Structure 1
Amino acid sequence: MTGGPSAGPPPDGPAPVLRARGLVREFRGFRAVDGVDLDVAEGQVHALVGPNGAGKTTLFNLLTGFLRPSAGSVLLEGRRELAGRDPETIARLGVARSFQITSLFAELTPRRHVELALASRTGLGWRFWRSDRVLDRFAGRTAELLDQVGLGDHGDVPAGLLAYGRKRALELALALALDPKVLLLDEPTAGMGVEDVDRTIELVRRIRAGRTVVLVEHNMNVVASLADRVTVLQHGRVLAEGPYAEIRNDPRVITAYLGDSHAAR
């Protein structure tokens, strides 16, 4: 964990699209994130894992503007400082996120959800209510996004009636509507059965094309299936980092989080 915000890219890999240096977040004297350095390479899936209380969600919120750091820097593409910016500005710069807890409008259809998300990127603001024709211009892109996340046949079903896995797929469509360079997924398979988990793995594989994905995930089978690189957090600090095949056999990681069964695979 060395180097400041101006440190150069790693010599053995692509330049990071997202770089954090010395990130700290204190809550009344408690350091939930304690001097974290993180490099997320462009075009990769980068997983953040660790036991409960390790600081994963806090770090996630620092990267996306939902929390302001007590200290440190977050750079997008090596030049745009994200630390201290609000989530809306960060999203406009190309960093979008999903949430662990779904927050959809139960009465609105997936089609209307996505149309509104697309409209939010334009100068229309919230003038959409003046006429449905305002949203008609987004019909083609909306259909593409719904097909991409497997909701092409569910576009006109009220969101409140969708199965849980499909609600999470809709949230991915909303994030993709922002056309992000970096997509951050918070526990994308939380609460899912095996079938939905497998479907979500395939979905993330599809949507990663042309973008970078950062995910917080407890299911290590998901991490093993998707992640090019894994950062393990413990007590708000980086405990280990590397490919899954490497970190799963790290004795520190086994002790902190994964357990003996993972090390033996």
Structure 2
Amino acid sequence: MDDPVRRPLILTARNLVKEFRGFRAVDGVDLDVADGDVHALVGPNGAGKTTLFHLLTGFHKPSDGRIRLGDRDLTGLGPEQVARAGIARSFQITSLFAQLTPREHLELALQSATALGWRFWRSDRALARFSGRAMELLDEVGLAGHADVPAGALAYGRKRALELALALALEPRVLLLDEPTAGMGVEDVDRTVALIGRIRQGRTVVMVEHNMNVVGALADRVTVLQSGTVLVEGAYAEVRNDPRVISAYLGDVDAAH
């Protein structure tokens, strides 16, 4: 894999801090994500991964520090502004309408990125112009054969794939995945790893992930957090055997292998 230092950085954070009533959940974090990388954020429970993820996507405003996407300062922007700037967040289990089909979800998402915006009185004629691109995205995530099934009837893994397609519809510069394999059985995990491996081509991905086997299969770079700070950063092969990482995971077998 390429050395990320030799390639341009696309997402950076400097001295990022988030306090909640005096408690520092994120405490002076620096983060460098190289263009085209899969960059994993890992760490034991309470390490600050989710809070850092919320900061990067605008769901929390930092108490201190800066966040930049390329040459644009995103510090303090809200989720919608961050998304429009080029960071899309996927795999949030709140975003699907049970009665709408995957095709309809994608048509609406594609429409929302145009001057039409979100129009829930949409007409079939207005959405028809987005049908071709919707099917391309569904094919990319393996859902073309389920394009017209109500989302509520999809299996769990396919719902997560649909959420990924919705994020890709925004044509993001950086795609953030929040626990993409959480709650999945082995078969769905393997399918999701293969899916992320396909869609990462030509894209930058940042993911929070507990399953270190998934991290090992996908990540170019790994940042390990502990108590709100960066414990160690490097390639997966280096990080997994670092005594500090093994200690942080309290001997967790998955962390050491």
Q: TM-score, normalised by structure 2?
A: 0.95
Aligned counterparts of 1:234 and 1:26: Cα–Cα separation in 2: 16
8 Å CA contact 2:99–2:152 kept in 1: the answer is yes
In structure 2, the partner of 1:201 is 193
In structure 1, the partner of 2:165 is 173
Q: Specify the code of the residue in structure 1 equivalent to 2:144.
A: G
Shift of 1:262: 5.0
Unaligned runs of 5+ in 2: none
**Aligned: 1:67 with 2:67:** no
In structure 2, the partner of 1:98 is 90
In structure 1, the partner of 2:206 is 214
In structure 1, the partner of 2:136 is 144
Deviations 1:203-223 (A, max 9, x none): 001111111000000000000
Greater alpha carbon shift after TM alignment, 82-91 vs 123-132: 123-132
Unaligned runs of 5+ in 1: 1-9
What is the alpha-carbon root mean square deviation over aligned residues? 1.6
Deviations 1:126-174 (A, max 9, x none): 3352421111000110000000001000011111110000000000000
8 Å CA contact 1:100–1:190 kept in 2: the answer is no
- Equivalences for residues 248-259 of structure 1 within 5 A: 248-257=240-249, 259=251
Deviations 1:89-127 (A, max 9, x none): 111111100144343111111111111111110010233
Aligned counterparts of 2:250 and 2:83: Cα–Cα separation in 1: 33
Q: Secondary structure at the match of 1:127?
A: coil
Aligned counterparts of 1:147 and 1:250: Cα–Cα separation in 2: 40
TM-aligned CA distance change 1:49 to 1:264, over 3 Å: closer
Equivalent residue for 1:109, pick from 98, 101, 118? 101
Aligned counterparts of 2:64 and 2:199: Cα–Cα separation in 1: 33
In structure 1, the partner of 2:6 is 13
Equivalent residue for 1:34, pick from 9, 27, 31? 27
Aligned counterparts of 1:264 and 1:128: Cα–Cα separation in 2: 49
Q: Specify the code of the residue in structure 1 equivalent to 2:32.
A: D
In structure 2, the partner of 1:6 is none
Q: Secondary structure at the match of 1:129?
A: coil
Deviations 1:17-73 (A, max 9, x none): 000000000000000000000000000000000011110011001001111000000
Q: Specify the code of the residue in structure 2 equivalent to 1:38.
A: L
In structure 1, the partner of 2:176 is 184
8 Å CA contact 2:141–2:195 kept in 1: the answer is yes
8 Å CA contact 1:102–1:167 kept in 2: the answer is no
In structure 1, the partner of 2:229 is 237
Q: Secondary structure at the match of 2:137?
A: helix
Q: Specify the code of the residue in structure 2 equivalent to 1:67.
A: H
8 Å CA contact 1:248–1:262 kept in 2: the answer is no
- How many aligned residue pairs are there? 255
**Percent of paired sites with the same residue:** 75
Q: Specify the code of the residue in structure 2 equivalent to 1:160.
A: G
Aligned counterparts of 1:209 and 1:90: Cα–Cα separation in 2: 22
Aligned counterparts of 1:71 and 1:32: Cα–Cα separation in 2: 12
Q: Specify the code of the residue in structure 1 equivalent to 2:62.
A: P
8 Å CA contact 1:248–1:258 kept in 2: the answer is no
Shift of 1:257: 1.7
Q: Specify the code of the residue in structure 1 equivalent to 2:227.
A: H
